[in-house]
Amino acid sequence: MIRKAFLSVLLCTGLSAVAQQPAVLAKVDSNAIKTLFFEGLRDKLNENYGKATESFNKIIALDPNNAAVFYEIATLNYRQNKLKEAETAIQRAVVLDAENVWYWKMLAELYKRKGDMESLTKALDQLIRLDPDNDAYYFDHSNALLLSGKTAEALKGYDAIGKKFGSSVALTQARQRISLGTGAAIDKQAVDKIVKEEIGDVRSHVELAGALMQKKQFEPALSVLRKARLMEPQNYQIDLAMADAYKALQRYPEAITSLKSAFEDPEMPADQQIKIVMMLLSGADKKERLDDAMVLARTAVKLHPGELKLIALYGDALYEQDDLTAALTQFEQVLKVTDQIYGVWERVVIIQIRQAKFGDAIKTADAALSVYPNQAILFYYMALALHRNHQDDEALKQIQNCLQLDAENGIYLELYGDILYLKGDHSAGLVQWKKAQAGGNQSKKLIQKINEKKYME
C-alpha cells in the first residue's frame, strides 16, 4: 500500500506542470519573424493551436536555430497530448540553448510522463547544474533512480541531499520508504529507528504504519499510529489502521474498539462503513461478530440518516438477530423512499410470512413483482403466502409462474407438489416431490412426504 502511494507522488516537486516561460526571441533582424512569433503567442493564448503552430513553423523555416520557437511548438503539442512531437521539439530547443531551465523542465516532464527514468535522470542532472540550490531537483533525481530499480544509487542520492541541505521530514520519509519497500526482512533495530524518527503529518504516519504491517511489524505499526492519534485524536483512518493491526495480532476486542471509534467519526464515508458491516455479517465467525455489526450499523445510521443502503444494512443486522419487527421498520423506511433496492423487498416479504401476515406479504410480493417481474423467488414467496392464506387456486398460478423462470429448483417444486396434493391431485403432487428431491432438496420433511405419500405441515 505504502509503496504504491509513494510511487504515485514521486517526481511531483518542480515538475508538476509545464510552466509558462517568458517569451525570449532569438536575436534576429527580421520584423516578419517577430510578427509571426507574437501572432503565434496570441493564437496560443486563445487556444487556436492549429493557427499558432502554423505561425511557429513559418518561423522555423526562416530561422531553424530559434530555440524559443521550438519551445513554443513543444508546449503546443504538449497541450494537445502530442507527447512524441512535443519531445522532439523540446529536445531541439535544449540542443540550441542548454542554459535555459524552462526547456530542461519541460523535457524532464515529458520523460516522466513517458516513464523513461534513465533519460529523466540526465535531464535532472542538467537542472541541478543550472540551479544547484534547488533541493527538489535532487529529490526527483533520487526518486527517478529508485523507480529505475537503482536502490543503492537512490540511497546515495538521499545521503548527498542530507549532507548538502541537512535533515528533513521529506528525507526521512524517503529513506523509510526505501527500507520498507524492499522485499527483504527488516530487523528490530531498523524498525526501532524508523519508529523514533520524525515522520511528518498524520497521513505519513498512516502510510508508514501500513508499510510496517506489510512487513508484519504490527506492534511498531501501532506505535506509529498512537503517535498519529496524539496529533489528531479523531481520525477514522488512524482507527481503521489500528483495527487492522489489532486484528492481525488477534486482539479482537481492541480491533472492534478501534472500529467503533472510526465509525463515530463523521468524516468516515458511508460506503466504507457499509463494506465493514457487510464483512462482519458474512464472515465465517458471523455469529460471534453479530453484536459488533449491530453496534457499528446503528452508529453509522445515526451519522448518515439519509443513507438508504446503511438503513437496509442495519435492517439486515436486526434480521440476523431475529428482531423481525425492528428489522421490518428499517426496511419499510427504505421502501418509502425507493423501490430500487431488491434485497429489501425480499426481506420484507420473508418477515411478513414469518409473522403470519400473509395478506401483507401478498401485497408486498405483488408490488415487488411490478418492479422486478423476472424474479422467480418473488413468485415463490407470493405462492407461499397465498398457500399459507388458504388461497391454493391463486397459489397454483403463482408457483407455475415461478417454475417458468426456474423449472428445476427443488424448493419451488416441493411447494408445487404441496399445492397439487392439497387440491386433490395426490399422484401429481408425489411426482413433483420426487422431482424436488432429484433437484437437490433433501429436507427431512420432503423425504417423509415421499415415503408416506402424503402432505404434512
Domains and CATH numbers, the chain: 189-262 (1.25.40.10)
Distance (Å, whole) CA 143 – CA 134: 15
Can you tell me the mean pLDDT for 112-138?
91
| Higher pLDDT among residues 205 and 5, named by residue | 205
Position 247 scores a pLDDT of 93
Q: Is the pLDDT of residue 37 over 90?
A: no
Position 427 scores a pLDDT of 95
Q: Is the pLDDT of residue 346 over 50?
A: yes
Can you tell me the mean pLDDT for 92-111?
94
Position 204 scores a pLDDT of 72
Q: How confident is the model at residue 45 (pLDDT cuts 50, 70, 90)?
A: confident
Position 14 scores a pLDDT of 38
Position 336 scores a pLDDT of 96
Position 23 scores a pLDDT of 46
Concatenated DSSP letters of 168-207: -HHHHHHHHHHHHHSSS---HHHHHHHHHS---SHHHHHH
Of the listed ranges 27-36, 148-157, 171-180, 309-318, the one predicted with least confidence: 171-180
Can you tell me the mean pLDDT for 304-331?
95
Position 13 scores a pLDDT of 40
Can you tell me the mean pLDDT for 54-77?
90
Three cell numbers at 96?
540550441
| Higher pLDDT among residues 187 and 268, named by residue | 268
Can you tell me the mean pLDDT for 148-173?
77
Q: Which amino acid is at 427?
A: S
| Burial environment of residue 287 by CB neighbours within 10 A (0 to 12, 13 to 18, 19 or more) | exposed
Position 180 scores a pLDDT of 60
| Higher pLDDT among residues 171 and 93, named by residue | 93
Position 327 scores a pLDDT of 97
Q: Which amino acid is at 269?
A: P
**Contact predicate 374/380, CB 8 Å:** no
Of the listed ranges 80-84, 327-331, 343-347, 419-423, the one predicted with least confidence: 80-84
Position 192 scores a pLDDT of 57
Can you tell me the mean pLDDT for 92-117?
92
Position 343 scores a pLDDT of 95
**Residues 202-235: tens digit of each pLDDT:** 777 787 787 778 778 888 889 889 988 988 999 9
Of the listed ranges 59-63, 123-127, 129-133, 329-333, the one predicted with least confidence: 59-63
CA distances from 280 to 10, 32, 264, 309 (A): 37, 74, 17, 16
Q: Is the pLDDT of residue 252 over 50?
A: yes
Q: Is the pLDDT of residue 80 over 50?
A: yes
| Higher pLDDT among residues 244 and 158, named by residue | 244
**Helix segments in 336-443, DSSP class H:** 342-354, 358-371, 376-388, 392-405, 410-422, 426-438
Mean residue pLDDT across the chain = 86
CA distances from 376 to 86, 113, 211, 349, 446 (A): 59, 52, 48, 14, 21
Q: How confident is the model at residue 148 (pLDDT cuts 50, 70, 90)?
A: confident
Q: How confident is the model at residue 1 (pLDDT cuts 50, 70, 90)?
A: very low
Q: Which of 25, 51, 29 is nearest to 40 (CA)?
A: 51
Q: How confident is the model at residue 127 (pLDDT cuts 50, 70, 90)?
A: very high
pTM score = 0.61
Q: How confident is the model at residue 184 (pLDDT cuts 50, 70, 90)?
A: very low
Position 432 scores a pLDDT of 96
Position 179 scores a pLDDT of 59
Task: List all residues 6 or more positions away from 418 whose beta carbon is below 8 Å from its beta carbon.
Answer: 387, 429, 455
Position 150 scores a pLDDT of 81
Position 9 scores a pLDDT of 39
Q: How confident is the model at residue 418 (pLDDT cuts 50, 70, 90)?
A: very high
